[in-house]
Amino acid sequence: MFGTVLDKLDKWVGGSFLLASFFPFLIFLGANALMGQLLMPEAMKKVSATFGEFGPVSGIAVWLAAAAAIAYLTDPLVGKLMDILEGTWIPDRIAQWLSTDQTPRLRALENEEQEIGTSLDELDNYPKLLDREIEGAKAEGVATHEQAQPKLIDDAEKMLGKLALDMTAQRPVALDKVKQAAASLQAALKANCVVAAELRPEDPKTVEEQKARCARAEAMIELLNRLIAYTTAKLNDRRARVIYEQQLDFGSLATEGGENWIPLVAPTQFGNKVEAQASFVGSRFKFDFRFFWPIFQLVVAQGDQKTTDALTNAKQKLDFCVRILLYTIVFTAIWMAVIGIWRGDVAWLILVVGTVGAVLTLLWMETVDANYRSMSELIRGVVILKRFEVLKALHLQLPADWKSEQHLWASLNAQLMWGSQTPITYQHSDKP
């Protein structure tokens, strides 16, 4: 019976509605039924008896049909919740306060990027400078023809060994620690001869021991060079990640002329991601993402079913999570009110329901944020890979280079969105 009803609904409203709207509402109804059975069993018996008059099969059909109708009618509420998550309906004063709260993360990312850039600038010349310093220290030690302070070699080896463990474990290695280890090694090289052929020990019995220290010193020099290369690679990787996080989490506004972009901070974390999506496309390709994205979807749907399915699945996941978030908020509010009005004997449950509801709300907000981030990455890939197909669908000549492409998109955006009379040359296929 349940499968038959689902098949009917699938034909009437589509699979997307079932996954993104109907099933979340069924979960909401089930949670309310369970809560009602626990706290108000007598009332639940009356409700069951009312629908039981139709018979078990008809009763289930009535329940499912009613749930489908309510889910369909409440769909617009989800769009409003999305607006709230983006910060659209937040009053200006509160929005300003929330934007200020979002700013520290942006500043932290910007500062980290600057610090990494400074470290990378230092590392550009550091290997050559270090080679000269190491050679100088080594020559100074060789001139002594003895190993007067072998403990310094042990200390340098211990310090470099800790950094080597971090490198083996793929953990970041701070440039300052590399410099400290380099200074320790230089001190050891200055105080000890580490070239076996130049050794003139007073005690011949220690020759083999001192030769072993020479080999260890050479190994440490090689290890230090590997640490510098590793630190550089790690910093470059981290810098790319920081920039990527900025691009995914924060938008930008174009200054006059559209060549420079300044950070834009929205009132909410979700709103920042939405703005980041639009500003990424706008800064790279010079067109308005919100206006052109429906066109992209139509073009993709005509010739690439796999990409269309991927976009549909990503949207369904996001819609499902947003609806569960909405129903969690509604569920919490309903049962806090019900307990407060009709179950004063268990008033302590208000605190329990409110706390659990708040925790679940925060968890679902994080889930919504993660799903939007995933969908945003997919959308960017679609725009990057499918933009020329859109130009072809609009019967436009494909640009020869990046600058020409940006100019073409800007002209097309001005014409279609703003009604500009910018001249655009068309290219039509010879085929009818």
Cα dihedral 122, 128, 129, 130, rounded to 10, equals 100
DSSP letter for each residue of 347-412:
THHHHHHHHHHHHHHHHHHHHHHHHHHHHHHHHHHHHHHHHHHHHHHTTBPPPSSHHHHHHHHHHH
Nearest to 156 by CA among 131, 125, 140, 178: 178
> Which pLDDT score, from 0 to 100, does residue 1 have?
46
pLDDT mean for each 10 residues of the chain (432 residues) = 50 61 84 83 70 58 73 77 77 67 80 90 89 92 89 93 93 91 93 87 76 91 93 93 84 60 72 84 88 93 90 89 90 90 80 92 90 90 94 92 92 90 80 54
> Which pLDDT score, from 0 to 100, does residue 84 have?
79
Please report, for the chain, the start and end positions of each structural domain, with discontinuous segments joined by +: 2-73, 81-90+268-417, 94-249
> Which pLDDT score, from 0 to 100, does residue 259 have?
56
Tell me the H-state helices in 192-304: 207-249, 269-285, 289-303
> Which pLDDT score, from 0 to 100, does residue 276 have?
85
> Which pLDDT score, from 0 to 100, does residue 356 have?
93
CA-based R_g, the chain, Å: 33
> Which pLDDT score, from 0 to 100, does residue 58 have?
62
410 and 286 Cβ atoms separated by less than 8 Å: yes
394 and 412 Cβ atoms separated by less than 8 Å: yes
Cβ neighbourhood burial of 44 (10 Å; 0-12, 13-18, 19+): middle
219 and 169 Cβ atoms separated by less than 8 Å: no
Q: Which residues contact 46 (CB under 8 A, 6 or more apart)?
A: none
Q: Which residues contact 219 (CB under 8 A, 6 or more apart)?
A: none
> Which pLDDT score, from 0 to 100, does residue 2 have?
47
> Which pLDDT score, from 0 to 100, does residue 154 have?
92
> Which pLDDT score, from 0 to 100, does residue 8 have?
54
Nearest to 360 by CA among 331, 385, 337: 331
Instruction: Give pTM, 2 decimals.
Output: 0.73
> Which pLDDT score, from 0 to 100, does residue 278 have?
86
Report pLDDT digits (tens) over 44-59: 777 666 655 555 556 6
* 161 vs 220: CA distance, rounded Å: 9
DSSP letter for each residue of 398-430:
PPSSHHHHHHHHHHHHHHHHH-------B---S
Report pLDDT digits (tens) over 360-389: 999 998 898 888 888 989 999 999 999 999
> Which pLDDT score, from 0 to 100, does residue 243 have?
86
> Which pLDDT score, from 0 to 100, does residue 179 have?
92
Nearest to 5 by CA among 53, 74, 60: 60
> Which pLDDT score, from 0 to 100, does residue 319 have?
87
> Which pLDDT score, from 0 to 100, does residue 99 have?
63
Task: Please provide the size of the chain in residues.
Answer: 432
